[in-house]
Amino acid sequence: MASESEHTVLVTGGAGYIGAHTAKALRERGHNPVVFDNLSSGYRDAVRWGDFIHGDIRDTEAVAEALARTQARHIIHFAGLIEVGRSVSRPDLFWAHNVTGLASVLQAAAKAQVQRVVFSSSAAVYGQAAAGFELDLLSEDNPKAPASPYGDTKLAGEKMIAAYASAFGFSAVALRYFNAAGADPSGLIGEAHQPETHLIPLAIAAALGHGKPLTVFGTDFPTPDGTCLRDYVHVDDLAAAHVAAVELPLAPSAFEAFNIGAGHGASVFEVLAAIEAACGRAPPHSLGARRAGDPASLVADPARANRRLGWTPRCSDLDHIIRTAVAWHKAPAYGATSPQPAGILS
């Protein structure tokens, strides 16, 4: 019979958007999530499943102490910076958090002899290479050519994890997800980035009268309606993929990477139409020129995740994503627009 520590998972950045949903999914699968977060961008009120440890991933001793105290045998590493645009103006911060911070976690993991590290990677590792594939689905074997310092840090992170796994004997999985969206139907947790940079929450805020009108960047792409195609995957499906990555049988020192996406794209205009249907009001927007570096399409081929992880997106149709996101943004439990701080559930 497995000990409790065999089911304990240290979730760095677990007070953030995807981390909070993953902690919930872990608990529902019988694991014991322990959130490790400095709350620089996450929310204490998002930690509703499992224990909480306040700490910074760049403090190797703090991570090592958390692993020793909890006897966690697995780590899911979310903690880091995510704003692509900001990575261009402040690459120093992104390398310090996303690479140096990851190195700190891996040093602690090696010392604690953890069994599995699951890494929050990104489709940003494909970057400019995706532009050469037009409307093709992107597989894990596609060339990697990040178009931003953010993408660079994610690709560097994957390489670092693979090297540490090989040297220190733990197994590791990188999940390259595409566009995380939606919210848990419970309404207890959802997306509350500050500042927000993602299309769906920005468009919902505009439709609800909480945010500024949008600019649609580019209407002349080689797509059915001329706007960019992106692969939107529901955050609950993403959370399920992380649980599957923890449970995947892997040999010591092995490393695998998987695309996590719905496998089909939605255009900007399709997203705006779905939000109009859900809100009863179209998001106010204007049309602008393409942004440099924006590929026409970024859509995952999730076949490897389906085959190896047994993972299939179950709630990533666009209408469900939008409905759950709108419900959250109308009554967020925490964040800048929340009416009242939410209680904490242990």
Q: Chain-centre distance of CA 273, in angstroms?
A: 24
User: What are the φ/ψ torsions at residue 125 (nearest 5 degrees)?
Assistant: -65, -25
Rounded alpha-carbon distances, angstroms, from residue 133 to 33, 269, 291, 298, 299: 39, 22, 18, 9, 11
DSSP lists the bridge partners of residue 215 as 286
Asked if 139 contacts 228 with a C-beta cutoff of 8 angstroms, the reply is no
Distance between CA 322 and CA 273 in Å, rounded? 10
Q: Is 224 strand, coil or helix?
A: coil
* Structure tokens, 264: 């089909």
- Nearest in space to 15 (alpha carbons), one of 346, 7, 41: 41
State the catalytic residue, choosing from 17, 43, 150, 177: 150
* Structure tokens, 48: 């509703």
Return the sign of the alpha-carbon dihedral for residues 236, 258, 163, 168.
Answer: positive
- Nearest in space to 268 (alpha carbons), one of 203, 197, 183, 327: 203
Pure H helices in the chain: 17-28, 60-70, 84-89, 91-94, 101-112, 149-168, 199-207, 235-247, 268-279, 303-309, 318-330
**DSSP structural state of residue 289:** P
In the residue annotation, 150 being an active-site residue is answered as yes
* Residues labelled catalytic: 150
